A and B are shown apart, each in its own frame.
Chain A
Amino acid sequence: MQGLDFSVVAPYVDILLMGTWWTAILTVSAGALSFVGGIIFAVVVLYAPAIVAYPVRLFMWVFMGTPLLLQLFLIYFGLVQIGIDIPALVAGIVGLGLHFAVYNADVLRAGIVAVDFGQTEGARSIGFGKWQTLRYVVIPQAVRNTIPPIGGNMIALLKESAIVSVIGIAELVHSAQLAISETFRPFEFYITAAALYYLLNLVLEAGLRRFERNVEISR
Chain B
Amino acid sequence: MSMQRPMVEVRGARKSFGAAEVLKGIDLSVDRGQIVAVIGPSGSGKSTLLRSINHLEALDSGEVWLDGMQVNQPLHGQAFERHINKVRQQMGMVFQHFNLFPHLTVLDNITMGPVILKGMSKSEAHALAHGLLSKVGLADKIDAYPSRLSGGQKQRVAIARALAMQPKVMLFDEATSALDPELVDEVNAVMKKLAAEHMTMLIVTHEMRFAGEVADRVLFMDGGVVVEEGPPSEMFRAPQKERTRTFLKKYLSA
Residues of A within 8 A of B (CB): 116, 118-119, 121-130, 132, 136-137, 140-141, 144, 217-219
A122 touches B116 (CB 8 A): no
> Is there contact, CB below 8 Å, between A125 and B56?
yes
- Complex Cα gap A129–B77 (Å): 12
A128–chain B nearest beta-carbon distance, Å: 7
Contact B116 A218 (CB under 8 A): no
Asked if B165 is at the interface of the complex by the 8 Å CB criterion, the answer is: yes
A122 touches B56 (CB 8 A): no
Report the separation of the CA atoms of residues A141 and B89 in the bound assembly, to the nearest whole angstrom: 23
Across-interface contacts of A219 in B (CB, < 8 A): 102, 145, 147
* A118 adjacent to B97 (CB under 8 Å): yes
Q: A125-B99, A127-B117 are known; give 19 further A-B pairs, CB within 8 A.
A: A118-B97, A122-B99, A122-B158, A124-B56, A125-B56, A125-B95, A125-B162, A126-B112, A127-B85, A127-B87, A127-B88, A129-B81, A130-B81, A137-B101, A141-B103, A217-B145, A218-B102, A219-B145, A219-B147
Q: How far is the CA of A41 from the CA of B132 in the complex (A)?
A: 40
Q: Which residues of B contact A137 (CB under 8 A)?
A: 101
CB-defined A-B contacts under 8 Å, sample of 24: A116-B99, A118-B99, A119-B99, A122-B100, A122-B101, A124-B88, A125-B54, A125-B99, A126-B112, A126-B117, A126-B162, A126-B165, A127-B87, A127-B165, A128-B116, A132-B116, A136-B112, A136-B116, A137-B101, A140-B103, A141-B102, A218-B102, A219-B102, A219-B145
Contact with A along B10-46 (1 / 0, CB 8 A): 0000000000000000000000000000000000000
Q: How far is the CB of A143 from chain B (nearest CB, A)?
A: 9
A121 with B56: CB separation less than 8 A? yes
Asked if B64 is at the interface of the complex by the 8 Å CB criterion, the answer is: no
Asked if residues A126 and B88 are in contact (CB atoms below 8 Å), the reply is yes
Q: Which residues of A contact B116 (CB under 8 A)?
A: 128, 132, 136
**Residue from the list B81, B88, B97, B147 in contact with A125, Cβ < 8 A:** B88
Collect the chain A residues with CB atoms within 8 Å of residue B100's CB.
122
Give the residues in chain A near B93, CB-CB below 8 Å. 125-126
**B145 contacts A218, C-beta separation under 8 Å:** yes
**How far, in whole Å, are A141 and B145 apart by their CA atoms in the complex?**
14
Asked if B223 CB lies within 8 Å of chain A CBs, one says no
Residues of B with C-beta under 8 A to A217: 145
Name the distance in Å between A77's Cβ and chain B's nearest Cβ. 44
| Contact, CB under 8 Å: A127 / B145 | no
Q: Which residues of A contact B81 (CB under 8 A)?
A: 129-130
